[in-house]
Structure 1
Amino acid sequence: MEGFGVLNWTILIVYLIGNLIMGWVLSRKVESAEDYYIGRKTIPWWAIGLSVLATYVSAMSFLGGPAWSYGSGLGVMMIQINYPLVVFLVITFFLPFFYNSGVASIYEYQERRFGKKARAVMSLIFMATQTLSSAAVLYATALVLSFITGVDVNVAIVVITVIALVYTLMGGISAVIWTDVVQAVILVIGAVVIFYFLLDRLPQSLVSTLEDLKAQGKLNILDFSFDPTVEATVWSGVIAMVLYHTTVYGANQMVVQRALAAKNIGDAKKSFLLMGFAAFFIYFLFLLLGVLFYSYYDGRAFENSNTIVLQFAADCALPGLVGVITAAVIAASLSSMDSALNSLATVTSLDFYEKYFKKGAPTSHYLKASRWFTVGWAILIILPAMLFAQTEGSVLQLLTKVGSYFVGAKLSMYALGFFSRHTSERGLLIGVVAGFVAVWIAATQTDIAWPWYCAIAAIVNVPISIGASLLLDGRQSELSPYTIKGQKQMYRDHGLAAKEDGWYRIPGKVDPISWLLVVFFFATMVFLYLLTVFI
């Protein structure tokens, strides 16, 4: 794209400078490693919620979402339909364990429940998956800069990394969250602006356009097929992807670390509730844009489908629009990059450096070490980002596929920790290996679609872990306090308050408002059904 223009450059530069200024201002509140990891627990719940939302509704969604539905139709919405159910499970089972423990690394739970090896394995899985996902985000952002400026994608990758690194180094988790708030607002504004101008430029009315798209098979949303080789069906969305996304949001340091910065358990849960109710609308908007672009461009092939949104902004030729959209995409990406860098540094410092290499050092030392780890991870992420630059498909689809190889192991390790009395560390690790083998076989020897990989790993992992545990270590006579039953027993025996300001502290207890998530989920399913019936 040529002629980015002074106005567009001004919008983009002002936005980037604003991020750096915010990081500098917040850096004055970072005096210890704990401040860098989880702040001072003064951040309001809505800011944390917007940060969670912005982190995963990233440039992969802003660019990759429309690219995905442009090629596959609105049926891919089934992959994203499950967030209300996911948040229901996360705030009921995961958050209470992590928040009540007072830890900064959620993988410390694995050590308390099973042992040091389990914690190390979970931390390493997180590092591997987060590096790959961050690389995909980085590539998506670099693609924007390359598209609008003509700069080589690899050069753009380095530039974006440096920008995210600088303000993350200065402000820690507080800078991450507050810059994410701004980025979330810009992201939504950018999507709404594109949607408005797209509607205005469609050759037919929206209803007529949707009717044509339905005739072309682009609005086949609810596929009730039980065929496991089909990627987006009702069953893959409601069963397989619930398991997948529960792990992504409940057992992911990058996401949960924000909730640990909340003032209390109620604020931590409310921040996730915001995601549970808002995600449907945002993902539906992104995917709807994709099928509308298909109509607008008459299904033409793009050299790289991830640039469709940018191409449309350029085609509109409205002064400043490309600058706003570019800022929105970069905002979305930075909100994921800064979170990843901070969480990777936190896990590296707490789960490995402080535990095995430098015990008992002053907090100022760990703060300095964490910042150096942040720099190291920024450098490491660049290489896979350059490899992602070789793909032309949807980055959102690509990343979700990559993540599906690992989430089954994470889900099983936490599910067994929560609900299984007799699982031991040795049995657990045997099950993890078996789960990885099962996923590898499914991916290489069958046509089973990737959304089911998490479920396959869990189905194999859980019984093998329990069986191996009983065989190697026998039945456990004592109930671990880090199981759901153990937590309930501990609260009863010690006379602890079950609630704090009206919110349950005990894992497994459902807050009344959480049931609204279930109602909302069924309401969205009805909406999608009516959409396909009456168009």
Structure 2
Amino acid sequence: MSTIDWLVMTGTLAAIVIYGVMQTRSVNNVKSYLLGDRDLKWWTIGLSVMATQASAITFLSTPGQAYNSGLGFAQFYFGLPLAMVILCAFVLPIYYRLKVYTAYEYLEGRFDLKVRSLTAILFLIQRGLAAGITIYAPAIILSSILGWSLNLTIFLIGIVVIFYTVLGGTKAVSVTQRQQMIIILLGMVAAGFVVVNKLPEGIGMGDALNIAGNLGKLEVIDFKFDLNDRYNIWSAMLGGTFLFLSYFGTDQSQVQRYLSGKSLTESRLGLLFNGLLKVPMQFLILFIGVMVFVFFLFVAPPVHFNTANLDKVRDSEYATELAELQERNAAIADETGGAAMELAQALRQENEAQIQTATANLQTAVASRAALSDRVDELIELEAAGRGSDTITEDRDYVFITFIINYLPIGLVGLLLAVIFSAAMSSTSSELNALATTTMVDLYRRTLVPDKTDAHYLMMSKVLTVGWGCVALLFATSANLFDNLIQAVNIIGSLFYGVILGVFAVAFFFKRVGARAVLNAAIIVQALVTVTFFLSYFEYIDLAYLWLNLIGCVLTILLATLFEGAGLKNKDNIDDSVLPK
């Protein structure tokens, strides 16, 4: 990487961190530290909410997802606007009326301390695990670029995020996220222009889209109902909507963003802004991935995008075969490039016979390249087995960064790396802030150490932020066990979000159900969801993970109402103020 790229990347990141620290120098009490001054405007809330969700994983893994599978992953976000409307109508008014610090604080007023503590603990488990993955994602980039050890890189990134999160609390997170999101959007738009301009002479964006469409990369909506299909319209609108309802309505990393709003109206506008802009942003990222796929039809891609795996094979007994496969890969690139050019010309002339022939030739060449890549994966596995080690051959997460490092112009490489690091910093800082807030408000101050001074709780909030940062760093060292990072985050969320959403749904809409019934239901359903996931993971059953959100929510509601009817009732009176008006 050039000196200019280093200056662009480090300068951008340093400016964001310094800005966040300068803007939060006046934070000197626990309320400001955990909630800010509740003075944020809707656009800051909207950008902060988007930045919290849009981690580095979004910009590393999503283009790779489109490279492999096309635009179908966009369906995952179709339930988001609906979820935002529901939350604005029913959930936000309750949180603002009760002036809560956390989403789980509300549950004690509606049920009891046990239910509040259980849901808080479930959140802490899943978000603590996910925070590690959001640190790991950019670490794999920097470690491969610099040749540093992965664990050292993870440690350095984590320290930077922990530093400004500890100093400024939630306000530091929000004000830096606004700047980070602006950099992210500008960087991705620039990447889109560059990848189109890098296509061969005579091939424009229209040609690239036509080629991608003929290879099935532009198919967005899949109406086929299949419980084992991760991304179709049914899993998106049912499982996905429930996932977003739980994530934005009950996950403290998001709730904390809009609870810092100047008013209920500002928070509502911020969430609606997120719902309207998030889907187009995901289409942009997926579009870039599809364009990278078309680009590599004309340019020989690596036989494997994770160079660390290739380096190990080069130092093994399989080095000769790998070299032969790389030569074959270059020859196949000539075949794919020629077939793609023929297809573009046939599409311009609207010659159906030539279109069919060129498409078939291109599909054959692409299949040959895929078979060659499969053999490289086998060599990687054989080399690892020879060392008595396990390895991950899935390389989708490395596709976009390979394009950035090797094909973007000087200066823009640094900007795109700043985009990825900004995304990592924004989401990780939100998560650490939310983990510390939940631990402090729902467990430490409420149950473990009540009746201490504000100064004590402010100090402990910072200590807890550091503590959760260390947990995230520890888990980040194990994140390479997952095949695809963006799916790993969604899987972890789906394991817990359904049950948490079910508890909140009972709290909002089933006023006759009491604490004991919902507590027993939540514990049982969480166990069932976990068992169901592992049965699916080991292929004993066929069920896509998004359905776990719907299953967890619906079963929690059903069991809670059944237990209530069977006599597992809470005799305490329910305060009507905690119910939707």
Regarding TM over 0.5, the answer is yes
Q: Secondary structure at the match of 1:406?
A: helix
Deviation at 1:441, TM superposition (A): 4.2
Matched, 1:413 2:416: no
1:185 to 170, 179, 182: 182
1:17 to 14, 19, 28: 14
Q: Secondary structure at the match of 2:567?
A: helix
Match of 1:198 in 2: 195
One-letter identity of the residue aligned with 1:63: L
CA contact (8 A) 2:51 2:427 kept: yes
Deviation at 1:259, TM superposition (A): 1.2
1:352 to 403, 425, 443: 443
Match of 2:549 in 1: 454
Structure 2 matches for 1:47-446, cutoff 5 A? 47-203=44-200, 204-298=203-297, 301-303=304-306, 304-391=395-482, 393-443=483-533, 444=535, 445-446=540-541
How far apart, CA to CA, are the structure 2 residues paired with 1:43 and 1:257?
A: 12
How far apart, CA to CA, are the structure 1 residues paired with 2:173 and 2:163?
A: 11
Deviation at 1:390, TM superposition (A): 3.9
CA contact (8 A) 1:418 1:482 kept: no
CA contact (8 A) 1:187 1:331 kept: yes
CA contact (8 A) 2:20 2:172 kept: yes
One-letter identity of the residue aligned with 2:91: F
Q: Secondary structure at the match of 2:103?
A: coil
CA contact (8 A) 1:404 1:453 kept: yes
How far apart, CA to CA, are the structure 2 residues paired with 1:294 and 1:15?
A: 29
Question: What's the CA shift string for 1:225-254, capped at 9, x where partnerless?
Answer: 111111111111111100111111111111
CA contact (8 A) 1:65 1:396 kept: yes
Against the structure 1 CA distance between its residues 370 and 149, is the aligned structure 2 distance closer, same or farther, given a 3 Å change threshold? same
**More divergent stretch after superposition (350-359 vs 11-20):** 11-20
Question: What's the CA shift string for 1:389-435, capped at 9, x where partnerless?
Answer: 344x3311221122111111011000000111221211112211232
Match of 1:531 in 2: none
Q: Secondary structure at the match of 1:405?
A: helix
Q: Secondary structure at the match of 1:450?
A: coil
Question: What's the CA shift string for 1:311-363, capped at 9, x where partnerless?
Answer: 21222251111110110100011001111111111111111111123222221
Note the residue ranges of structure 1 that are not aligned, 5 or more in a row: 489-535
TM-score between both structures, scaled by the size of structure 1: 0.87
CA contact (8 A) 1:422 1:475 kept: no
One-letter identity of the residue aligned with 1:456: I
Poorly superposed stretches of 4+, deviation over 6 Å: none
Match of 1:472 in 2: 567
Against the structure 1 CA distance between its residues 469 and 183, is the aligned structure 2 distance closer, same or farther, given a 3 Å change threshold? same
Deviation at 1:50, TM superposition (A): 0.7
CA contact (8 A) 1:345 1:377 kept: yes
Matched, 1:463 2:554: no
- Structure number, greater radius of gyration: 2
Deviation at 1:474, TM superposition (A): 4.8
CA contact (8 A) 2:98 2:578 kept: no
How far apart, CA to CA, are the structure 1 residues paired with 2:151 and 2:570?
A: 54
Deviation at 1:477, TM superposition (A): 9.7
**Number of aligned pairs?**
482
How far apart, CA to CA, are the structure 1 residues paired with 2:246 and 2:554?
A: 15
Against the structure 1 CA distance between its residues 477 and 436, is the aligned structure 2 distance closer, same or farther, given a 3 Å change threshold? closer
How far apart, CA to CA, are the structure 2 residues paired with 1:10 and 1:483?
A: 52
How far apart, CA to CA, are the structure 2 residues paired with 1:342 and 1:102?
A: 18
CA contact (8 A) 2:192 2:288 kept: yes
Q: Secondary structure at the match of 2:576?
A: coil
CA contact (8 A) 2:51 2:180 kept: yes
CA contact (8 A) 1:95 1:256 kept: no
Coordinate RMSD, CA, aligned: 1.8
How far apart, CA to CA, are the structure 2 residues paired with 1:416 and 1:390?
A: 36
